[in-house]
Amino acid sequence: MTARSAARSFGAELLPILPGGLWLLVFAVVPFFFLIVMSLWTATVFGIEPEWTLESYRTVFADPVYVLIVLKTLRISLVSTVISLLVSYPLAMFLARMQGRAKAMFLFALFLPFWSSYLVRSFTWLPILGRNGLINHALISAGVMSAPIDALLFDEFAVYVGLVYVYTLFMTLPIYLSLDRLDPALGEAASDLGGRPVQVFRRVTLPLSLPGVWSGCTMVFLLSVGAYVTPSLLGGTSGIMVGNVIAGQFLESNNWPLGAALSVLVIGMVIVSVTLAGMRVGLRQLFLGQGR
Amino acid sequence: MRASGKLLWAYAACFYSLLYLPILVLIVLSFNDAPAIGFPIQGLTTRWYADALAGGQVMQALGNSLSIGIASAALGTLLALATALGLRRSPRWRGVMLPLLLVPIITPGIVSGVLMLVFAGMIGLPYGLWTTAFPAHVTWVLPFAFLTLHPRIEQLDRALEEAAMDLGARPRQVLSHVVLPVLQPALIATVLFSFTVSFDEFVRTLFVIGGARTMPVQLWISLQQHAGPFIPAMGVVIMLISMLVAALGFFISHHASARSLQPQS
């Protein structure tokens, strides 16, 4: 092959993937450099000055207000991930056992709510958990209580309810896919050899579904770490997460460098969690549900 | 085995009830003839729907959402199609393209919003529906369109293309007469899914849309202003549009895959 025809075939290979690749490079990758630059600029009362400083990072890592909010975000995200896992695993098992038309219907019914805006799905918990919401109304009508309680809304509890409700599909789906791939004969063989159902689950089903568990946990953790809508609608002042603080820097206090530094920190947490999970199951499994 | 199967059925019944309870509550409240959002139900009315859609602002937001949804679904699907076809022919670029495609998915929504806000601010791009929100939507839609199309394109039988080439078709003809017709249902489904991804998008849009509004942004502003009892009705409208479009996409792709799996005799 001559150099010229090699170059031509190289160009022909590159041509179809170039538009998508360039688009992502310009709008998804390059902005990170701008974000990092912004996080290193100086915020003054008069606005943003293009002078290099580490002040914003010093604030993020030394000011207890920001340290605590980051730790709290990590805690809320971890707890939401664990709750999602516990809620989703049995359903994934149920779906994996279904067959034919019934399976397709249950899968469709699982997907349907997730095809609508998470803003709407977060908001609906206000008239369920609120003062004149469904739960208070039901408990009072049933005579369980005489006055409505406020404890259900505008705290961490409401944030957990919202996050788990909004993001559970991202846990159920990968676990279901990994369980669905399992050969039912494996479980049967294990029980034929005398394994009790609990043993079969612990020694056979669970270990083989771990790749799905890891990708589900990673997705829900990522989505929770960056949550903004759910904590602002349901969390009140005690349920605030780092997303709310970042938004505040841009929409209210106009301290872009500090908001950028907090965003860089969130990206750092995302990279660490994706790397840790990726080392266990491989990136392709994590996001595409395929083997290594 | 029996007992555990029954337990799973009972669990699934609870799960699906809780999954649909909030949606049911929203629909019921959208018809509740009461001055404040909440219980008890005081009567039925459809006036909140009239209120929710009244005023030029909401109709404009709806128009914005529909047009940015259609445009970003079209461009996102086109870019995803080219990428997936390109990677099928030259798999050695996968190592570069797959991580690139994952970047928008693993970037948290709030960070994506901030990224575009800072980027546009620093290069001097004015904030608006088409200048900043549209690129943000295409970037968000593209990976989902790719993940929907990619498995279908990988399953494509190479023998079909080889047969067409043996019969003297040039590459361009193979694409337009063989590959695209076979992919047509998958492409339609991808466009429909992509539309809902864009139509439902909120946080990436909020930060960069400037003075313009999409339906979710309009709903958000109404929520912040405690604008009134029409809010559930507005939520139902947003939910119905995306659910209907996505359900249509689901049936088209399900139907197509059921057909392609039938034995050909």
- Give the per-residue SS3 of B43-111: CECCHHHHHHHCCHHHHHHHHHHHHHHHHHHHHHHHHHHHHHHHHHHCHHHHHHHHHHHHHHHHCCHHH
The B residues from 119 to 138 touching A (CB cutoff 8 Å) are 119, 121-123, 135-136, 138
A42 located within any domain = no
Nearest-CA distance A40 → chain B (Å)? 13
The string over A22-60, giving b where at least 16 C-beta atoms fall within 10 Å of a residue's C-beta and e elsewhere, is ebbeebbeebbebbeebbbbebeeeebeeeeeebbbebb
- Contact of B192 with B76, CB cutoff 8 Å: no
Residue A36 lies in a domain: no
Closest-CA residue of B relative to A271 is B106
Q: Do B100 and A128 touch (CB under 8 A)?
A: no
Identity at B242, one-letter amino acid code: S
The answer on A94 and A21 residing in a single domain is no
Predicted local confidence at residue A204, as pLDDT: 80
Q: Which residue of B has its CA nearest to A122?
A: B22
State the pLDDT at residue A189. 80
Position A122 confidence tier, pLDDT thresholds 50, 70, 90? very high
CATH (domain of A69): 1.10.3720.10
Taking phi over 0 as left and psi of -120 to 50 as alpha, with beta for the rest, B34 belongs to beta
Given pLDDT bands bounded at 50, 70 and 90, which one contains residue B190?
very high
Residue B13 structure tokens: 């019944």
**Both A14 and A69 in a single domain?**
no
Amino acid at A129: L
Give the contacts of B213 (CB within 8 A, at least 6 positions apart).
Answer: B57, B60, B61, B64, B221
A33, A119, A251: which to substitute to probe chain B, counting the most B Cβ within 10 Å? A119
Residue A109 lies in a domain: yes
pLDDT recorded at residue A292: 35
* Same domain for A148 and A24: no
Q: Is the pLDDT of residue B175 over 90?
A: no
Q: Which residues pair with B32 in a beta bridge?
A: B44
Tell me what the mean pLDDT of segment B58-67 comes to.
94
- CA–CA separation, A224 vs A231, rounded Å? 10
* pLDDT tens digits, one per residue of A221-266: 999 999 999 999 998 888 899 999 999 999 888 899 999 999 999 9
Does the residue A39 lie in any domain?
A: no
Rounded to an integer, what distance in angstroms lies between the CA atom of residue A242 and that of residue A222?
A: 13
Based on the structure, what is the number of domains in chain A? 2
Does residue A159 share a domain with residue A83?
Answer: yes
Burial tier of B166 (Cβ tally within 10 Å: 0-12, 13-18, 19+): exposed
Specify whether the CB–CB gap between A148 and A131 falls below 8 A: yes
Size (chain A), residues: 292
Average pLDDT, whole number, for chain A?
Answer: 88
- CATH code of B48-260, in short, is 1.10.3720.10
**A27-36, A118-127, B160-169: range with highest mean pLDDT:** A27-36
For chain B, give the longest Cα–Cα distance: 72
- pLDDT tens digit string along B241-265? 999 999 999 888 877 766 554 443 3
Tell if the CB–CB gap between B119 and A31 is shorter than 8 Å: yes
Residue A41 resides in a domain: no
Chain A residues inside the 8 Å CB shell of B142: 20, 23-24
Per domain, the residue ranges of chain B are: 48-260
Report the pLDDT averaged over residues B82-89: 91
pLDDT, residue B258, reads 62
User: Once rounded to an integer, what is the mean pLDDT over residues A101-124?
Assistant: 92
Domain span including residue A182: 56-288
C-alpha separations of B247 from B118, B183, B196, B209 in Å = 36, 19, 10, 28
Residues A61 and A107 in one domain: yes
